[in-house]
Amino acid sequence: MDEQYAQALAELREGTIDEYRVAKADFLAFRVVLLAQEDAQSFRGNAQIGGDVVYTYEPGWTK
């Protein structure tokens, strides 16, 4: 599963996909992979009703 998350983050970074939805049940496992990324602060999570989180890649959004 970690490889799937890493692949999704790479695709977000490259612009292959616009967003990636993480189910509530998978959030903690995804978070471990996300925080291991060098540019983790460039990924923006938007919580949805029901507990899912939709991630996008937005470099510099925290500044």
pLDDT at residue 52 tops 80: yes
Of the pLDDT bands very low, low, confident and very high (cuts 50, 70, 90), residue 63 is low
For residues 8 and 53, what is the distance between their CA atoms, to the nearest angstrom? 14
For residues 9 and 34, what is the distance between their CA atoms, to the nearest angstrom? 8
Measure Cα distances from 34 to 24, 27, 53 in Å: 15, 10, 13
Mean pLDDT computed over 15-36? 97
List the chain domain ranges: 2-57
Share of the chain above pLDDT 70, in %: 98
Phi, psi of 40 (to 5 degrees): -55, -30
Provide the β-strand partners of residue 55.
20, 45
Of the pLDDT bands very low, low, confident and very high (cuts 50, 70, 90), residue 61 is confident
What is the reported pTM?
Answer: 0.92
